[in-house]
Structure 1
Amino acid sequence: MTTSKWILLCTLATALALPFTRPVVAADFADVLDTPAVHSELAGKGLLTGLTRAGERLIAVGQRGHILYSDDAGQHWLQAQVPVSSDLVSVYFPSAQQGWAVGHDGVVLHSSDAGQTWNRQLDGRQVGPLLFDYYQKQLAKQPDNPELQARVADAQRMKEEGADKPFLDVWFENDQVGYIVGAFNLIFRTDDGGHSWTPWLDRTDNPTALNLYALRPVGNDLFIVGEQGLVLKLDRSTERFNATPTPYNGSFFGITGKPGFALVFGLRGNVYRSVDGGASWNKIDLGLPLSITASTITADGRIVLVSQAGHVLVSADDGASFMLQPNTVQAPVAAAQISAVGSLVLAGTRGLRQLPLE
């Protein structure tokens, strides 16, 4: 298995094969799923891997269940109340009040007060049984279906393995409809704000169960990107994510764009651009052989990409070319977001920081 974005940033490597397993622990071990995140004055300086906006508020998530929020464009941060201390990877708010965060141990958290307090909607102890029950019911209708037989067997294995599979990204269309994706083709959809989740593993063109690293809309299209050049696009008529071939077979960590074009980015500075809804992709030469791990879009429509080492690249021509931003303080970056006042806020291994954009 190739590296995940989260592991890449933790280790500052471009290729690392580590299984998503949990260590053997002592009998008095307190499960991170049952241990609230500890409040710390240093939370804003630790590893933070996800950033988003909730209206004008900034929300950041990271290791040990730390979630922070800022109402002054990232100058000062407060720590939220979080019921778990699992490492969190991604966060998204479709509206100013309602938001979701996901991470390791199959955690899905929800906030209805703009990120100040959070409750758990799902965790890895429930994921295996949820998958098993769902696909067992499908198999009962089609007992000779080999794909469903395999899905039930995989779900049984996940039940036995426990809460060791991470969710790596989350996106909500509105306060009710959303998706979560993660390791080994994990994908679920909710139509009721996360009160229930429906497995969509059988609705992806991903037969080898590659890791799904990110999902985001571009215009009216919804894309997922992952390992080995995987790019999937939702066909809303069939409710299925179909594969979109790309010229690259390395990992893609994210996708961005605007109506009319899409960009996928990943390992070793590989960025590809499509102007036909993902039917074809052309490589964009950044002149930078470092992995691209984050992106955001400014209020005036410029595309911002950030490298694993903290280089900031900006495009004013809809992603056709990028210029390196001068005088950036380089440090490993996992996520980027434009604040309400237009500054660039970055999250990574050294916590949170702000940069002006020229």
Structure 2
Amino acid sequence: MCSYIKKVMQLALVVTLTLHGVVQAASFVDVLDLPARPSVLAMRSPLLDLGHAGQRLVAVGQRGHIVYSDDNGSSWQQAVVPVSSDLNAVYFPSAEQGWAVGNDGVVLHSSDAGATWSKQLDGRQIGDLMFKHYNALMLAKPDKEQWAVLAADGQRLIEEGADKPFLDVWFANDTVGYVVGMFNLILRTEDGGQTWTPFQDRIDNPQGFHLNAIASTGDALYIAGEQGLVLKWDDSQQRFTALETPYKGSYFGVGGQPGEVFVYGLRGQVLRSTDGGINWNRLDSGLQTSISCALLDNHGHYRLFTQSGHMLMSRGGNAPLQLVPQSQQAPVAGAILAADGALVLVGSRGVRALPGLEQ
């Protein structure tokens, strides 16, 4: 009730000032040009992903917050970030070089293990980038209809503005990597992000489904998306080819190890393949809550986490998923193991570290 009364009083004040010609429009600053505000509460703000920069842990989240820890998650410092856009994912292929992506088509790069960041790309550039790339191909080969369609998609992005988010990022090394996002948004770089090449013509996604996650199992590179979309990089064709799966809902993540790949997502769905995605087995989570992230622990067990904070464990192979009791439960968006074995989780309540995992 008090909050409601405050809102009514604030509204009345604004109306009064407006009628007297006192209110002046505040200067608008785009979040893509507004550096993230330093805050002692950054580690407690909503965080969406985290990664390893060598021994350092780096977490990213809302309002451009990036925090890092050099003591296995016990304490955190805030990084210097040039944007205030929400950040959805982070990846370090090496101890020093890392990339973070987020809303408004933003791509950030760090060369000092996540302490400071620079902007490499944002949504104001992507449409023009796509249009020029595919328009050039269209002029070179006007008989191929796909180029005209993709050039038109680039023009549409120019007109719509910087409103398409990147949802994940993966790099093979310090130079070659991908960023993926909504509506089949995918770019590739071969020079560490100095330039980016649109990749929409190299992916079997004609309906333009969202690309939610990209990850390597060590022997193959996969993309997971909405409406049952799973793609695998094919070296011989130089493109991401679609795989058939028995579930047609959204997948939010993909992971695994050589010879084994997992996809997981909506309504507790978890699928496993040991033949490169030709055949899939469903692992029963016993839950209807969406699986948000997963990791392989030091014992070779898969740990999966839900948006409601459940932790599930599979002891390898087709072993059933078991619910792991926890002393506290909070929504989980990202999970990682620190060097000392501590389990570090991020979510809507910020970051928290749990003791080392037991078998």
TM-score, normalisation: structure 2? 0.91
CA contact (8 A) 1:273 1:320 kept: no
| 1:46-86 per-position Cα deviation (integer Å, ceiling 9, x unaligned) | 11001101111100000000000000110100000000000
CA distance in 2, matches of 1:235, 1:70: 37
Give the secondary structure class of the aligned counterpart of 1:148.
Answer: helix
CA contact (8 A) 1:67 1:82 kept: yes
User: Once the two structures are aligned, what percentage of the paired residues are identical?
Assistant: 58
The one-letter amino acid of 2:220's match is D
2:87 equivalent to 1:93: no
- 1:74 maps to 73
CA distance in 2, matches of 1:109, 1:242: 28
CA distance in 2, matches of 1:124, 1:216: 23
CA contact (8 A) 1:312 1:328 kept: no
The one-letter amino acid of 1:349's match is S
Aligned-residue offset at 1:99: 0.2
Give the secondary structure class of the aligned counterpart of 2:287.
Answer: coil
Aligned-residue offset at 1:350: 0.4
Aligned-residue offset at 1:318: 3.7
- 1:104 maps to 103
2:211 equivalent to 1:212: yes
2:204 equivalent to 1:234: no
CA separation of 1:53 and 1:222: change in aligned 2, threshold 3 A: same
CA distance in 2, matches of 1:323, 1:72: 30
CA distance in 1, matches of 2:66, 2:93: 17
| 1:11-31 per-position Cα deviation (integer Å, ceiling 9, x unaligned) | xxxxxxxxxxxxxxx772110
- 1:168 maps to 167
CA distance in 1, matches of 2:350, 2:319: 31
- 2:278 maps to 279
Question: Which segment drifts farther, 144-153 or 112-121?
Answer: 144-153
CA separation of 1:161 and 1:31: change in aligned 2, threshold 3 A: same
2:343 equivalent to 1:306: no
2:128 equivalent to 1:121: no
Give the secondary structure class of the aligned counterpart of 2:135.
Answer: helix
The one-letter amino acid of 2:199's match is W
| 1:305-330 per-position Cα deviation (integer Å, ceiling 9, x unaligned) | 00111111122224632221112421
CA contact (8 A) 2:300 2:316 kept: no
The one-letter amino acid of 1:198's match is T
CA contact (8 A) 2:50 2:59 kept: yes
Give the secondary structure class of the aligned counterpart of 1:33.
Answer: coil
CA contact (8 A) 2:345 2:352 kept: yes
The one-letter amino acid of 2:81's match is V
Give the secondary structure class of the aligned counterpart of 1:34.
Answer: coil
Give the secondary structure class of the aligned counterpart of 1:102.
Answer: strand
CA separation of 1:254 and 1:319: change in aligned 2, threshold 3 A: farther
CA separation of 1:47 and 1:319: change in aligned 2, threshold 3 A: farther
Aligned-residue offset at 1:236: 1.4
Give the secondary structure class of the aligned counterpart of 2:333.
Answer: strand
Give the secondary structure class of the aligned counterpart of 1:286.
Answer: coil
The runs of at least 4 consecutive aligned structure 1 residues that moved more than 6 Å come to none
CA distance in 1, matches of 2:218, 2:91: 17
- 2:35 maps to 36
The one-letter amino acid of 2:27's match is D
Give the secondary structure class of the aligned counterpart of 2:227.
Answer: coil
- 2:82 maps to 83
- 1:135 maps to 134
Asked which structure has the greater CA Rg, the reply is 2
CA distance in 2, matches of 1:65, 1:269: 30
Question: Which segment drifts farther, 325-334 or 67-76?
Answer: 325-334
- 2:6 maps to none
CA contact (8 A) 2:271 2:282 kept: yes
The one-letter amino acid of 1:266's match is G
Aligned-residue offset at 1:109: 0.3
CA contact (8 A) 2:87 2:103 kept: yes
- 1:261 maps to 260
CA contact (8 A) 2:262 2:272 kept: yes
CA contact (8 A) 2:253 2:263 kept: yes
What stretches of structure 1 of length at least 5 have no aligned partner? 1-25
The one-letter amino acid of 2:224's match is V
- 2:350 maps to 351
- 1:5 maps to none
CA distance in 2, matches of 1:328, 1:254: 26
Root-mean-square deviation (CA, aligned residues, Å) is 1.1
CA distance in 2, matches of 1:297, 1:56: 17
What is the aligned residue count? 333
1:4-23 equivalence runs, <5 A: none
1:178-197 equivalence runs, <5 A: 178-197=177-196
CA contact (8 A) 1:303 1:319 kept: no
CA distance in 1, matches of 2:107, 2:187: 11
Question: Which segment drifts farther, 155-164 or 294-303?
Answer: 294-303
CA distance in 2, matches of 1:354, 1:118: 25
CA distance in 2, matches of 1:211, 1:348: 22
